[in-house]
Chains A and B, each alone.
Chain A
Amino acid sequence: MKWHWLERGKGRAGHRLSGTALFSDLGERELRVVEAFAHERQFLPDEVVFDAGEDGQALYVVVSGRVAVIAEGAGDRPLAELVAGEFFGEMGLLDGAPRSAQIRALEPTTLVVLPRTEFDRLMVSHARIASCISLQLARHLGRRLRAMLEIAPAREAS
């Protein structure tokens, strides 16, 4: 049995989530807590992570590789591409609505998956992690809203 709490920490940079936007404000100890609840999945190029319309059961963080966000009915042209450090699937956890787009891996991709129950548990029972994640989510949604507002007039003009 390893007594990890007696070990010296491996440092913030040693964690696979340390370079991700969602967890950028967390310290080493908090990252260790989040990683204790997370799973890792590998995807092949072109493999579907989830489809639009599915129930959202988890939040995904891209650890390595690249994924495409594909809106329903938009053909194969992606709405956006997400690279290492970015995250997706948060909307399904926040409002309980079905997935709004399909996610497809573009190259060999490793994702860290935080299941809904664990996400909810962290948000309810760990004040520091909850406030850091909430702040990052708010920033993320703000950026997305700003981007949409910038795109809308351009579309109307064209």
Chain B
Amino acid sequence: MSLLRYRAGPLVWSGNILATCLLLFFFQKILWLVVPFILALVLHYLLAPLKLRLLLRGVSHDAAAAMVSVAAFLVCALPVVYGFPRLLGDVAGLHETLLRYIGGGIRLLTDVLSDLEARSAFLAESGARAMLETQLGGFFEHFTEKYLPGIVMGLMVWSPSLLLVPFIAFFMLRDGWRFRRLLLRAVPNAYFERSLALIDAVDRTARQYFVGLLQLTLLDTLCLAAGLWVIGIDGALMLGLLAAVLAWIPFVGSVIGCLLVVLVVATDFPGQPGVAYAAIGLFVAVRLLDDFVFMPVTVGKSLNMHPLVTVLMIFIGGAVAGVPGLMLVLPVLGVVMVLGESAGQLLTDPRLHARHAHAKALELRRVTRDLRID
């Protein structure tokens, strides 16, 4: 019956970090299942408030889940059906478009290097521009034969598992509460209230992280799209969305997003490096906004972590499981921290153990009452 507050010690912290690394390593091996599961979880968190509204109107869990899923399917299916012919046309011309934009990017780079070589004798002597032209030219000349089949095959391998997303999301919506009850039914009475708090905390952490990430993506998309539209770039919304989604990969994602936009700018505005510089400036500004304003009010709320730990864990995640590790390390660590602290709390509370032992003794007495040997 102790009133002393439990605080996680170094042992729990080390256990949390080790468990996070092991989980990331394991997740990397079954990425085909982890990715659809996480996407389904995000979809479930987005649809859960709608299901809750129906529940509060007296609709049963099953019916509410079915109604919300059908509505979500219709909302997603209509634009796909409507835009499918256009999408097919775009895919047919994808290769040419890709090479055109890459060519534009190389042109911008060589222009910049030519400019620098004209100003610096050292750079002119090193022949950096010629070297870059030769190497990048060679890379993209064989890009179609070497890399494109691999990318297309990868997409084909991934598509079936991505088709699982709506199914998993539907069953999460329909049976999530049953699974929760099943878990809690297995918990002895002595640990029941703590387990309620633990399940709530895990659910809250994951929900806040993934919903926060979506809010962050929306804010990034709006800011980037507005900025790109002001600069005068076509397809500002699509580019903003693409760059914002790429930013899900910590550090590297933002750079890739920025490069993507610079490629588009260099192609659409040849000979105008000022526009490319403006786009880069926009990315830096949105990055700063992200780190200091958006992040703390969206994703930051979910993970009560020291910034240094966050950065270190991102590096560790990247080292253990590559790009998936970079993307998954923070939510996994957030959930593991909650589990670790709760496990520490449960395992170090002698009163709970005593109550559980007492309950077991009572049960034993009840079932053996008529089994005495005289």
Contacts and interface: CB of A to CB of B under 8 A. Distances in A.
A56 to B, nearest CB: 8
Contacts of A152: none
Tell me the interface secondary structure of chain B in the complex: helix
A54 B196 CA distance: 14
A125 B63 contact: no
Interface in A35-83: 36, 39, 41, 43-58, 72
Nearest to A28: B58
A2 B61 CA distance: 10
B268 to A, nearest CB: 49
Contacts of B106: none
Given A2-B62, A46-B362, A41 B192 contact: yes
A1 B66 contact: yes
A40 B144 CA distance: 62
Contact of B362 (A2, A39, A44, A58): A44
B193 interface: yes
Interface stretch (B146-154, B217-225, B351-359): B351-359
Nearest to B193: A57
A126 interface: yes
A117 B198 CA distance: 12
A49 B358 CA distance: 12
Contact of B193 (A32, A52, A54, A122): A54
Contacts of A117: 200
B362 A125 contact: no
B366 interface: yes
Given A2-B62, A4-B60, A125-B52, A41 B189 contact: yes
Interface string B28-59: 00000000000000000000000011011111
Interface string B181-195: 100100001101110
A45 to B, nearest CB: 7
Given A57-B197, A115-B196, A126 B2 contact: no
A121 interface: yes
Nearest to B366: A44
A73 B53 CA distance: 45
Contacts of B196: 57-58, 113, 115-116
Nearest to B185: A39
A45 B57 CA distance: 38
Contact of B351 (A1, A33, A44, A51): A51
A32 B58 CA distance: 6
A19 interface: no
A43 B188 CA distance: 10
Contacts of B359: 44, 47-48
B200 A125 contact: no
Contacts of A41: 189, 192
B3 interface: yes
B1 interface: yes
Contacts of B3: 53, 98
Contact of A48 (B57, B66, B200, B358): B358
B66 A33 contact: no
Contacts of B181: 39
A10 B60 CA distance: 13
B353 to A, nearest CB: 13
Interface in A114-158: 115-117, 121-122, 125-126
A29 interface: yes
Contacts of B192: 41, 113
Interface string B112-127: 0000000000000000
A39 B190 CA distance: 15
Contacts of A49: 189
Contacts of A3: 60, 62-63
Interface string B165-185: 000000000000100010010
A57 B196 CA distance: 7
Contacts of A116: 196-197, 200
Contacts of A32: 58, 60
Given A4-B62, A52-B1, A55-B193, 19 more contacts: A3-B60, A3-B63, A4-B59, A4-B60, A32-B60, A43-B189, A46-B362, A47-B189, A47-B358, A48-B190, A48-B355, A54-B193, A55-B197, A57-B196, A57-B197, A72-B1, A113-B192, A116-B200, A122-B56
Interface of B: 1-3, 52-53, 55-63, 66, 177, 181, 184, 189-190, 192-194, 196-197, 200, 351, 355, 358-359, 362-363, 366
15 contacts: A1-B62, A2-B60, A4-B60, A33-B56, A44-B363, A53-B2, A54-B193, A55-B193, A57-B193, A57-B194, A57-B196, A113-B196, A115-B196, A125-B52, A125-B56
9 closest A-B pairs (Cβ-Cβ)?
Answer: A4-B60, A29-B58, A57-B193, A44-B362, A51-B1, A115-B196, A53-B3, A57-B197, A5-B59
